[in-house]
Amino acid sequence: MRALLVVNPAATTTSARTRDVLIHALASEMKLEAVTTEYRGHARDLGRKAAESDDVDLVVALGGDGTVNEVVNGLLHAGPDPDRLPGLAVVPGGSTNVFARALGLPNDAVEATGALLDALRERRARTVSLGLASGTPGTDDEGVPERWFTFCAGFGFDASVIGRVEQQRERGKRSTHALYLRQVVRQFLGERNRRHGTITLERPGEDPVKDLVLSIICNTSPWTYLGNRPVYASPDASFETALDVLGLSRLSAPSVARYATQLLTSSPERGPHGKHAVTLHDLTDFTLHSKVPLPLQMDGDHLGLRTSVTFTGVRRALRVIV
């Protein structure tokens, strides 16, 4: 087997020595080329090159969810074709590693490498669904390039939190769960006097869902993790179905406290619920519109402001070694 290993040297939970050990272990089982990323978007470029090559059977992403997202967007730059494209394998090296953990992989890079080698020897793989976001025809965002996401996207409040976290990381702060929680509080306090309810969800054949404050789009469950605690925004979401949506129509102090508690105590059987919560399951096509530009995030990456985003749930989009 011929494999490309894409290594993010800034991965927060793996040292240079650990990465060397992992590379040696993988190289003992396959013909391996290891490439260290050098700039934002480099992993995407490497994934695209692998997709266009006839010499690569597998792409291994060693890094966090951002690295995985870039590799996936490179592999699928010309569209999904799981029978032809190289398979994907993930060795978690980030702070949260939602995609890898949702696949059932250990959160430790060494253990995950062992699981990957076992899967290769036993020829274990699965084909997973993915989400695709694009600009909406007839709007100012029509020309925005398509982008795939592996586990979640967000439009509105949670994307604003991601943006705040990225600003803190650019100032030298470490990406920790405490940092995220602080930014949630600051975002809420910063918006509490602003007008809410600017998002409308439209889907074919159904009445629009109006006046949403935030919208979280899930391709799998859990939505994220706080340390080792899984958080379920859309418990029914899975890699076998299309996309699930959690929308909230109020962010007052009592409602924030209620829904935050529900998220922290969520389970595979029950997520956030109540009269201000909208839950939609297995959507293949829908659009989110906003009266004002709002931030968009995918797989934890802040992508700037949008007024309209069209989402597509694509079943059987990518073959993953697990």
Whether residue 205 has pLDDT greater than 60: yes
pLDDT band at 191 (very low <50, low <70, confident <90, very high): low
Mean per-residue pLDDT, 205-228: 94
What is the Cα 286 distance to its own chain's centre?
Answer: 18
Report pLDDT digits (tens) over 26-84.
999 999 999 999 999 999 999 999 999 999 999 999 999 999 999 999 999 999 999 99
- How far CA 12 is from CA of 7, 29, 72, 118, in Å, comes to 12, 26, 20, 25
Averaged pLDDT of the chain: 91
Q: What is the pLDDT of residue 193?
A: 44
Q: pLDDT digit string (tens) for 129-158?
A: 999 999 999 998 988 899 999 999 999 888
Provide, rounded to the nearest whole percent, the portion of the chain with pLDDT above 90. 74
Instruction: Look up residue 139 and give its two tokens.
Output: 């709007």
Cα separation, 237 vs 226, whole angstroms:
19
pTM recorded for the entire structure: 0.91
Question: What is the Cα–Cα distance from 3 to 33, expressed in whole angstroms?
Answer: 6
Residue 317's H or E segment, with its range, is strand 301-321
DSSP state of 12: T
Closest CA to 222 of 177, 266, 285: 266
For residues 193 and 288, the model is more confident at 288
Q: Residue 232: pLDDT above 70? A: yes
Domains and CATH numbers, the chain: 2-123 (3.40.50.10330), 131-317 (2.60.200.40)
Percent of the chain with pLDDT over 70: 91
For residue range 238-262, list pLDDT tens digits in order. 999 999 999 999 877 788 788 889 9
How do strand 285-298 and strand 199-202 relate by DSSP bridges? antiparallel
DSSP 248-278: ES---HHHHHHHHHHHHT--SS----STTEE
* 72 token code pair: 């996936």
pLDDT bracket for residue 203 (50, 70, 90) = very high
Burial class of residue 79 (count of CB atoms within 10 Å of its CB; 0-12, 13-18, 19+): exposed
pLDDT band at 296; cut points 50, 70, 90: very high
pLDDT at 252: 79
